[in-house]
Amino acid sequence: MIHTIATFFNSGGPFMWVILIVLAISTAVVLERVFFYFVVCRASGPVLVSRIASALRDGKADEAKRVVSKGNAPITVLLRTAVDRFSAGMGMHDIEEGMEEAAIIEMPKMIQRLNYLSLFANIATLLGLLGTISGLQASFSSLASVEASKKASMLAAGIAEAMNCTAFGLIVAVPCMVAYTALYNKQAQLTKMIDDSVVKTLNFMKKLKP
Domain count, the chain: 1
State pTM to two decimals. 0.84
| Structural contact between residues 162 and 132, judged by C-beta atoms closer than 8 angstroms | yes
pLDDT at 158 over 80: no
Report which secondary-structure segment, H or E, holds 161.
helix 148-208
Q: What is the pLDDT of residues 170-190, one digit of tens each?
A: 999 999 999 999 999 999 999
Predicted local confidence at residue 144, as pLDDT: 63
Which range of residues forms the domain containing residue 84? 13-208
Lowest-confidence pick of 7-16, 71-80, 151-160 = 151-160
1 found inside a domain: no
Q: For residue 70, with 0-12 CB atoms within 10 Å meaning exposed, 13-18 middle and 19 or more buried, which class applies?
A: exposed
> Is residue 57 in some structural domain?
yes
Q: What share of the chain is helix, strand, coil (3-state, %, to 5)?
A: 85, 0, 15
Reported as a single tens digit per residue, the pLDDT across 20-44 is 999 999 999 999 999 999 999 998 8
How many Cβ atoms sit within 10 Å of the Cβ of residue 132? 21
Does residue 147 lie within any of the structural domains?
yes
Whether the predicted pLDDT of 153 surpasses 90: no
User: For residue 3, is it within any domain?
Assistant: no
